[in-house]
Structure 1
Amino acid sequence: MPEELDIRGCYIGDLLSNVMAQAQPGDLWLTVMTNPNIVAVTQLLGLAGIVILEGHKPMDEALERAGKEGIMIFSSNDSAYTLAGRLQAMGI
């Protein structure tokens, strides 16, 4: 796993087809989705990582796949709006 993430932007979305069409490599993905498909999409697109919002926790299978693939998954109790504001204030 990387010690630092190279975050170039942020994408907020819960519909996989939209994420696949709109997210850019290096984006940090903010979502409420918790299933293993989030890992596959993150790897496919070269996203910086995943933040699961509103206190949701990733499924065990998602964590296992993320560990194998070197994908970082974080959890936050914040809403997408709140966390996006914080990230923007940090320059992301």
Structure 2
Amino acid sequence: MMKCTDLAEKFGLEVLTASEKDISIEGVYIGDLLSIVMAKAKQDYAWITIQTHLNIVAVADLLELSCIIIVENMDLEPDALEKAMELEIPVFKTKKSAYNVACDFNQMGIK
């Protein structure tokens, strides 16, 4: 099991927002269509996406996801950044593809 506090260091991610909470990552979900993410992702999952708008924070909060990982070097919109900080939802950014981040998780035994 991995903690969000270890994620940036282990995967070389940029931290956009952090949380003081000791959040565990139980699994991972990759998706960009919010309705599908809402139907399939589970509590304490890391969410890999290219979406960067405010609604991703709302979905992460609703589902109690452990964190959001934005791939392909996309920039998080300022209002989404502000809301994620307010809700203490960890958000990370990487130049890697969703596939490569998923491979990183798989190598750590998280699926």
TM, length-normalised to structure 1: 0.96
SS of residue matched to 1:71: coil
Q: Corresponding residue for 2:7?
A: none
Is the aligned partner of 1:5 residue 2:23? yes
- Following TM superposition, the consecutive aligned residue runs of length 4 or more in structure 1 with deviations greater than 6 angstroms are none
Distance in 1, matches of 2:25 and 2:109, equals 10
Q: Corresponding residue for 2:81?
A: 63
Is the aligned partner of 1:39 residue 2:64? no
Distance in 2, matches of 1:67 and 1:81, equals 27
Distance in 1, matches of 2:109 and 2:23, equals 14
- Between 1 and 2, higher relative CO (CA 8 Å, sep ≥ 6) is seen in 2
Taking only aligned residues, the RMSD between alpha carbons, in angstroms, comes to 0.9
Is the aligned partner of 1:16 residue 2:30? no
How far does the alpha carbon of each residue in 1:24-75 deviate from its partner, in whole angstroms, 9 at most, with x for none?
A: 0010000000001000000000100100000101001000000000101100
Q: Corresponding residue for 1:72?
A: 90
Q: Give me the identity figure in percent.
A: 43
SS of residue matched to 1:28: strand
**Structure 2 gap ranges (5+):** 1-18
TM, length-normalised to structure 2: 0.80
* Count of equivalent residues: 92
**Structure 1 gap ranges (5+):** none
Counterpart code for 1:91: G
